[in-house]
């Protein structure tokens, strides 16, 4: 379930809008247990993620979501949130940091906030700029479930 707080905001966000210090919110997504396990069975089939004996796991004591699932859901939140792009899309140039300080569990409600850290024009793509951003993904207790720092190629506003 994805709730978008900006469903009436049609305009995309361009490089010119992504000024240092600004932050951009997203809607929320609730972790569905079946989808979380299906993702793990397909892409990260470790017992702590698929549930095979996870209730006995000494570290987590139950099924936790794969970090890659948290990353995918965060991308979903960002693409559908205040940071929506135009049709050219945004290209991830590289991720400098990705970590999962708090495990996710079924029923968690995730939301994300992106802060703009640095910006510079792209020399190779005059119609785009490069933005370094940090996206924090929170659960319903405001614990950070994911921290992401990335450099992204972002479309400029058309002339």
Using CB under 8 A as the criterion, which residues of the chain lie in contact with a copy of itself when the complex forms? 39, 42-49, 52-53, 57, 59, 66-68, 71-73, 75-76, 79-80, 85, 87-100, 125
**Quick one: 54 or 109, whose CB is closer to a copy of itself?**
54
In angstroms, give the least distance from the CB of 141 to a copy of itself.
21
CB atoms inside a 10 Å sphere around CB 155: 21
In angstroms, give the least distance from the CB of 48 to a copy of itself.
5
**Quick one: 5 or 67, whose CB is closer to a copy of itself?**
67
Q: From CA 54, how far away is CA 76, in angstroms rounded?
A: 27
**Quick one: 116 or 152, whose CB is closer to a copy of itself?**
152
In angstroms, give the least distance from the CB of 133 to a copy of itself.
14
DSSP string, 27-59: EEEE--HHHHHHHHHHH---HHHH-TTGGG-TT
In angstroms, give the least distance from the CB of 93 to a copy of itself.
7
For residue 135, count CB atoms less than 10 angstroms from its CB and return exposed for 0-12, middle for 13-18, buried for 19 or more: buried
Give the CA-trace dihedral at 144, 142, 116, 8, to 10 degrees. Answer: 130
**Quick one: 116 or 153, whose CB is closer to a copy of itself?**
153
Residue 76 carries which DSSP code? H
């Amino acid at each position: 379930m994805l709730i978008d707080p900006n469903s009436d905001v049609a305009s995309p966000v361009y490089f010119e809008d992504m000024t240092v210090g600004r932050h951009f919110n997203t809607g929320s997504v609730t972790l569905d247990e079946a989808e979380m396990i299906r993702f793990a069975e397909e892409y990260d089939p470790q017992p702590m993620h698929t549930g095979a004996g996870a209730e006995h796991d000494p570290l987590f004591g139950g099924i936790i979501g794969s970090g890659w699932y948290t990353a995918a859901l965060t991308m979903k939140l960002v693409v559908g949130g205040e940071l929506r792009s135009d049709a050219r899309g945004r290209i991830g140039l590289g991720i400098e940091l990705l970590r999962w300080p708090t495990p996710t569990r079924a029923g968690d409600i995730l939301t994300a906030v992106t802060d703009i850290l640095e910006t510079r024009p792209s020399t190779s793509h005059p119609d785009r700029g490069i933005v370094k951003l940090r996206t924090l993904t929170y659960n319903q207790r405001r614990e950070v479930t994911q921290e992401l720092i990335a450099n992204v190629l972002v479309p400029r506003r058309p002339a």
